[in-house]
Amino acid sequence: MACCFDWLAIASVYDVVMPRRRPGEFLSLLEPARHDTVLEIGAGTGRIARHYAPHVADCVLLDPSHRMLDRARRKVPLGRHVLGYAEHMPFADECFDKVVSFDSLHHWQDQARGLEEVCRVLKPEGRFFVVEVDPRTFGGRWVETMESLLRMRSRFHPPERLVEMLRSAGLRDVTQASVGDGFTYGVMATR
């Protein structure tokens, strides 16, 4: 994922071309609290983290693109910005209350391994929050086509398949949630 976002200079135009999503519904699911330690995998430019970071004890933004993280540092200056991949996270076991993947799981090269890592870094009873593009919708097919043309090697899943993947990874209480824009969906799970 990093090479595409760095080599194609996507970081410089990312916030301009991405849809102007209102993260209100997602944030109401996340319920950021003062004591929370939150990891966002594939945090990109910090466009989502900037909304919840001021309300949590510790906000860690993980992304494989140094250019995306450079932009995130400006938006989320109090966050910890870590260069890395979902499949090999440089964090101790059971250190996060919440883990977020907002529009990033489809970029993970080894999604099963990334989900194992999510389980490893989540505290017992910790929560995992995913927002993904539904490839069955018109907008989802458009996103899938564009990312294919950019040779991103993205792999999108309909909600039912992602729910199954999270359960297979060992997460429980897996439920779908609305995130309100018509072509994405949310899934929440507990370790």
Give the other-Cβ count within 10 Å of 173's Cβ.
Answer: 12
The tokens describing 116, both together, are 């194992």
Question: Percent of the chain having pLDDT more than 70?
Answer: 87
Top pLDDT among 166 and 144 is at 166
Q: What is the pLDDT of residue 5?
A: 53
The pLDDT tens digits of the residues spanning 56-103 come to 999 999 999 999 999 999 999 999 999 999 999 999 999 999 999 999
Q: Domain count of the chain? A: 1
Residue-number span of the structural domain to which 106 is assigned: 2-190
Domain CATH code at residue 87:
3.40.50.150
Q: Residue 180 pLDDT more than 90?
A: no
Q: How large is the average pLDDT for residues 144-151? A: 84
Residue 128 near residue 166 (C-beta atoms within 8 A): yes
Residue 56 near residue 33 (C-beta atoms within 8 A): yes
21 confidence band (pLDDT: 50, 70, 90): low
Q: What is the pLDDT of residue 22?
A: 57
Residue 162 near residue 101 (C-beta atoms within 8 A): no
d(CA 74, CA 76): 6
d(CA 53, CA 59): 6
pTM: 0.87
16 confidence band (pLDDT: 50, 70, 90): very low
